[in-house]
Amino acid sequence: MARAAPEPSPARRLLREMVRLVALPLPAQERLDRLVATIARHLVAEVCSLYVLRAGDVLELFATEGLSREAVHVTRLAVGEGLVGTIAAEGIVIATSDAQSDPRFVYRPETHEERYSSFLGVPVVRSGRVVGVLTVQNEKPRTYGEDEIEALTVVASVVAEMLASGDILDPSRYADAAGRPLQPRRLEGVRLVGGIAVGRAWTYAPRIDPARLLAEDPAAERERLDRALAELRASLERAFARHQLGGEGREIVEVYRAFTEDAGWRRRIEEAIATGLAAEAAVRRVRDETRLRLGHASDPYLRERLVELDELAERLLFHLSGRDPVAEAAALPEDSVIVARNLSAAQLLQFDRRRVRAIVLEEGSPTSHAAILARALGIPVVGLCRGAMLEIEEGDVVAVDAERGQVFVRPGEALLEAFRRAEENRLQRARALEALRPLPAVSRDGVRVRVEINAGFLVDVEDLAASGADGCGLFRTELLFMESDAWPDRERQAAFYRAVLERAGDLPVTFRTVDIGSDKPVAWLHPPPEANPALGWRGVRLALDRPRILRTQLAALLEAGAGRRLRVMFPMVAHVEEYRRAAALLDEELKRRRAAGLGLPAALERGVMFEVPALFWQLDRLLPLVDFVSVGSNDLLQFLFAFDRSSPVLAQRYDVLAPPALRCLRDLAERCAAAGVRLSVCGEMASQPLEAMALVGVGVRCLSVAPTELLPVKAMIRSLDVGSLAGFLERALAWPVCSLREALAGYAADHGVVLPPPVRPVAAA
């Protein structure tokens, strides 16, 4: 005999009746009145009242069953006033059998509620924000039980959605209701990528909760995992293919691709499946274990990898559930401002960049992969914008001033017009900058500064001469290694390096020898686990321990550079002896080619990356051995101040424009000039016009910048009097301050130095 279906709970019956009520063709106020009457009847209460948050943090009685009808839209309580105001202010539930003896109770005579003793009130919450208060009252003293509190809380959550959707309010009369004030809100954050934009908010918080936890057939689950991984890679490839990225952007894409093929990650998931977990639960378990291991790591590379592995896990869960996150991202409307807690590189790439006006993040850092990609794509980003996902509703008009780290929510027409004018001015400046492309970077007082670019792929140097650059100051050779399933042999490397030199023409290219390890994994190398890989087995350290890797690369570079000018640079050198050993390998390869009668470079320059502060006190031994020194400012400043440059807590504490950092660079420039050794800066610092101005002021005469920042930096140099700036800095470097940023910005304004903010590419505007 079939078992009878269980009777629905009182709360479920109430919810069903509420849904039917909303569907009736009734005037908004009548629907509200019938709604509170229905709630009172089902919860056996003499009174049910709904208070809605209005502009100015005021709670207004919108409907009641049991209190005086004359009080509707008359009775108001400030947030924090009375029992109702306390619920709204603190987001708590209040239940009492004697409301009027509670010291928080406030009496409003127009309600005639003096005869009601018992009171139960719950907050009406939407998107983490209280938008109203729902109450029931009884005449006799009554202790409200957990079931009644839970039922009213559930009902309040449904009421919150009804308020937001406009099902129970007249939006023409109450446009500011449900916690959405009419006045603009200004949120403060920090600039991650400069620029300004106006658009409508689009909240991005993708998440998949595994529907299945256990599985009987591990083999079947591994097959599902195989299919999902294949779909994940194909989905990422489609996203990557839409964006023709070069330089740092392309490097990050390759890092991401390498992570999807990480054998250790896959092995841990398969081991979890073998314990009886479904594929979805196994992915979640491995992700949580990774979070536990890396979550408290101070190293920026480890934390960046945590973000990426988190994102890969979420995307893999999408595919296991039959969903494609790239396809779902196609729902992004035109002119959107993406609002998210954080964003990974792959998440950003899945969007059509023509639809993204700006990005607002509650977390993020200027050196994160997502920020670097956004910079390459010309998308303004504000990070560390606390509470953004609570304060900004889907569809809100948002004006983003990433230059100042400010976000304006629901701005007025005057502010919007100011943003429109500013954005048009920026586009005009972008067009004006184009006129500088063929001109040299010569200051007003005749100082010539070489401005080169950072690169990593053939596409980056395809139009090097036409770009206006003086050469390529940093070519990252490790990208060839990272995109290969096996160690690339000499022939393959030589063909690639030869193609780079051919495309660069007569302009010089500085090849950095392979800098794998740390955050740059390769499929064929299995480094030992390290607590802090940024300070570990990477760069020249790894290359000297695996001399075959370095010797093969040096042989390939010499072969490609036969008859041409060739520059070779060794990264992460901490001791002169490391450079001597690396240079000795280069000499051995030169000797071998000479003995074999093979072609040699027409000119060969060798140098080091200056990233480790210890090298500064070895300059007297180092400079006679090298032709050039290139500062990797990202790592140098991180090591100099012993701080994690991607830490949100420390993001604003240490500045590259601090006097100690600039004194270090000034002294380095003086020592190099005295020794006749060329000095360049190829880190992030060189790509920002204000920071680049400071570098020129302390004596740096060669900058290697992100391709998108070439023209802004060139415009700065052409408007600068270097002698005057040098004199100003000589005095300012003695000031007892933590940063010279404001002083340098003031100097630029007073002396007519052009500091163009980063500009969205005209073609993408």
Q: Beta strand pairing status for 450-455 and 702-705?
A: parallel
The verdict on 597 and 620 lying in the same domain is no
Domain end position, chosen among 575, 608, 641: 608
Which tops the pLDDT comparison, 528 or 178? 528
Residues 265 and 386 in one domain: yes
CATH number at residue 351: 3.50.30.10
Residue 147 phi/psi, 5-degree rounding, is -65, -40
Indicate whether 492 and 530 sit together in one domain.
yes
Tell whether the model's pLDDT for residue 243 goes beyond 60: no
- Section 381-394 average pLDDT: 87
Task: Tell me the whole-structure pTM to 2 decimals.
Answer: 0.56
Strands (E), 34-166: 47-54, 58-65, 76-78, 94-96, 118-126, 129-138
pLDDT greater at residue 184 or residue 192:
192
Only one residue has tokens 């072969």, namely 559
Question: How far apart are the C-alpha atoms of 618 and 341, rounded to whole Å?
Answer: 44
pLDDT of residue 704: 96
* 217 and 309 co-located in one domain: yes
pLDDT digits (tens, 9 = 90+) for 602-639: 999 999 999 999 999 999 999 999 999 999 988 888 88
Return the percentage of the chain with pLDDT > 90, whole number: 44
- For the chain, state the CA radius of gyration: 32
Verify that 364 and 256 share a domain, yes or no.
yes
Both 60 and 131 in a single domain?
yes
pLDDT bracket for residue 292 (50, 70, 90):
low
Q: Are residues 191 and 333 in the same domain?
A: yes
CB-CB neighbours of 63 under 10 Å: 24
The pLDDT of residue 602 is: 95
Asked if 203 and 312 sit in the same domain, the reply is yes
Beta strands in 341-442 (DSSP E): 356-361, 381-383, 397-401, 406-409
The answer to whether position 172 is within a domain reads no
The model's confidence at residue 344, banded by pLDDT at 50, 70 and 90, is: confident
Is 287 part of a structural domain of the chain? yes
Q: Is 363 part of a structural domain of the chain?
A: yes
pLDDT of residue 250: 57
Residue 758 lies in a domain: no
Both tokens assigned to 725? 């700036």
- Identify the pLDDT of residue 449: 98
pLDDT band, residue 693 (cuts 50/70/90)? very high
pLDDT category of residue 86 using cuts at 50, 70 and 90: very high
Structure tokens, 708: 């998108």
Last residue of a domain, one of 608, 630, 658: 608
For residues 47 and 189, membership in a common domain is answered with no
CA-based nearest residue to 628, from 581, 565, 672: 672
**What is the residue range of 151's domain?**
10-165
Domain membership flag for residue 437: no
d(CA 2, CA 300): 61
**Number of DSSP helices (H) and strands (E) in the chain, helices first:** 27, 22
The beta strand positions in 571-619, using DSSP E, are 603-610
Q: Output the six-digit token pair for 704.
A: 């290697």
Mean pLDDT of all residues belonging to the chain: 83
Same domain, 629 and 591: no
Calpha distance 452→681 (Å, rounded): 10
Boundary residue ending a domain (608, 629, 647): 608
pLDDT at residue 759, as a whole number: 39
Q: Number of folded domains in the chain?
A: 4
Residue 211 has pLDDT above 70, yes or no: no
Whether residue 214 sits in one domain with residue 101? no
DSSP one-letter string for 668-714: HHHHHHHHT-EEEE-SGGGGSHHHHHHHHHTT--EEEE-GGGHHHHH
- Look up residue 689 and give its two tokens: 């016009």
What Cα–Cα distance (Å) separates residue 337 from each residue in 203, 315, 407, 611? 8, 22, 11, 37
Q: What is the pLDDT of residue 181?
A: 45
If DSSP codes are grouped into helix, strand and coil, which group holds residue 316? helix
Cα–Cα distance for residue pair 337/351, rounded to 1 Å:
12
Residues 149 and 210 in one domain: no
**Is there a domain that residue 262 lies in?**
yes
Q: What is the CATH number of the domain that holds 135?
A: 3.30.450.40
Q: Which residues form the catalytic set?
A: 369, 682
Lowest mean pLDDT among 233-237, 329-333, 429-433, 475-479: 233-237
Domain CATH number, residue 471: 3.20.20.60
Q: How far is CA 34 from CA 124, 177, 460, 494, in A?
A: 18, 19, 67, 80
Establish if 764 belongs to a structural domain: no
- Is position 403 within any domain? yes
